[in-house]
Amino acid sequence: MDLPEPTLVTRALRQGISNDTQHGAVVPPWYPSTNFAFPVIGEEPDYAYSRSGNPTRDLFGQALATLEKGAGTVITSSGMSAATLAIMAFVPAAGRVVAAHDLYGGTWRLLDRLGADGKLQVDWVDLSDPDAARAALSTPADLVWVETPSNPLLRITDIAAVAELGHAAGAVVLADNTFCSPLLQQPLTLGADVVLHSTTKFINGHSDVIGGALVAGTDELAEQLDWWANTTGVAGSSFDAWLQLRGLRTLDVRLRMHEANARAVVALLVDHPAVARVHYPGLPDHPGHDIATRQQHGFGSLVSFDLAGGRAAADAMCHGLDWFVLAESLGGVESLIVHPSSMTHGAMSDDAKQLAGIGEGLLRLSIGIEQTSDLVADLTAGLDRAAATTV
Ligand SMILES: *Cc1c(COP(=O)(O)O)cnc(C)c1O
């Protein structure tokens, strides 16, 4: 009997397994070589020089293209080098970028500086607001930069609607899919042209490699990105690709545990008197809940919440936790907590923070895959400490 077509998950997680024709290694070998031999003069081998192409890096890139349903992937040294590459490739001199007002801080800094230097024009828009998106994209643009769910408030943008507006404005539409990973959301299938990942986060999943990727929806865009990647030299190292491919193999099972833990934590937060508000797209009263239900295959494991007691409560909660490490980044197997106002979003002005809704009592969790009961116990103790500051 013929087996059914393999699922994308199985294909991507088995990427390169048993492909070694020399020794039959089960796990694909790592090719650190910088250069590869030409068979004869005038005949280009598949790989010539590792900045432009490397077999190990390609295995990882193909796995991401499979999961995102894309035509090709450029693997870069970090999420930010992927962002730099996208701007190089898609924004002409003094071109116009329409970007979400609550983008990842590093992306915000890059676009803001290029704008200040007159290299491009950037308009910051709340793309989760359909009227604001329509108004901004009623004039021509070169690049639209979407990030959904957003950080740290988990705002949801309708990718299909913004992609349509972006295309009508003549723009390439890029979606930063770092928070969801391709297993929870596939922006190319919703109309985006290019997907960006900080593979540092869920894709590698173990907080031990910095990496990035751009997945292109068409061959033409993939070739364009390949050309720019080779020309600028932003490609990721072959060993980092090898490590990240190993991380990717457990993405599906990790995400299931991440999300189960997130559900338990959200249930705790919504009922605790120390908490004024919970931001999680899985909650029916979250403003983006319906869109998230439609465009995501799960609600993920990032949760933020406002403590009623402000900064004093945040200090009491964060100091004394056993399992939640007070640290930036996200998407690793270990649980983390951040105080966005002083940490991840510390560079924002007070006005910008207020506009984005980032208060002194806001905390963001990246919920890991430890045993659920341990995480709930740790947070319950922390919330009780936070509540005690307000009596
Ligand atoms: C971390 C992150 C980036 C930047 O990626 P690096 O790998 O740190 O360079 C970009 N976008 C989002 C949403 C991120 O979380």
Element (H, E) at 271: helix 251-271
Tell whether ligand 1 has an atom less than 6 A from the beta carbon of residue 100: no
Angstrom distance (rounded) from CA 32 to CA 253 = 29
Start and end residues for every CATH 3.40.640.10 domain found in the chain: 8-248
Contacts of 358 by beta carbon, 8 Å cutoff, 6+ apart? 152, 153, 340, 341, 345, 348
Fold entry, domain 8-248:
Aspartate Aminotransferase; domain 2 (3.40.640)
User: What's the pLDDT score for residue 391?
Assistant: 63
**Nearest CA residue ID for atom 1, ligand 1:** 198
User: Is 69 part of the annotated catalytic residue set?
Assistant: no
Tell whether ligand 1 has an atom less than 6 A from the beta carbon of residue 198: yes
User: What's the pLDDT score for residue 123?
Assistant: 97
Tell whether ligand 1 has an atom less than 6 A from the beta carbon of residue 176: yes
* Ligand 1 centroid from CA 25, angstroms: 33
User: Is 49 part of the annotated catalytic residue set?
Assistant: no
Q: Which residue has the tokens 């990721």?
A: 236
Name the average pLDDT for the chain. Answer: 96
Name the band, by pLDDT with cuts 50, 70 and 90, for residue 242. Answer: very high
Tell whether ligand 1 has an atom less than 6 A from the beta carbon of residue 74: no
- pLDDT of 275-286, one tens digit each? 999 999 999 999
Which burial class, exposed, middle or buried, applies to 350 when counting CB atoms under 10 A from its CB (0-12, 13-18, 19+)?
Answer: exposed
Start and end residues for every CATH 3.90.1150.10 domain found in the chain: 251-388
- Determine phi and psi for 108, rounding to 5 degrees: -60, -45
Query: Mean of the pLDDT values across residues 73-77?
Result: 98
Q: Of 155, 201, 249, 254, which residue is the catalytic one? A: 201
The CATH architecture of the domain made up of 251-388 is Alpha-Beta Complex (3.90)
Angstrom distance (rounded) from CA 223 to CA 74 = 10
- Determine phi and psi for 66, rounding to 5 degrees: -60, -50
Using an 8 Å Cβ cutoff, are 70 and 188 in contact?
A: yes
User: What's the pLDDT score for residue 352?
Assistant: 79
Query: Mean of the pLDDT values across residues 49-59?
Result: 97
User: Is 176 part of the annotated catalytic residue set?
Assistant: yes
Structure tokens at 200: 């540092």
> Which ligand 1 atom minimizes the distance to the CA of 80?
9
Q: Crossing angle, helix 310-318 and helix 372-388, to 10 degrees?
A: 140
**Nearest CA residue ID for atom 6, ligand 1:** 79
Name the band, by pLDDT with cuts 50, 70 and 90, for residue 206. Answer: very high
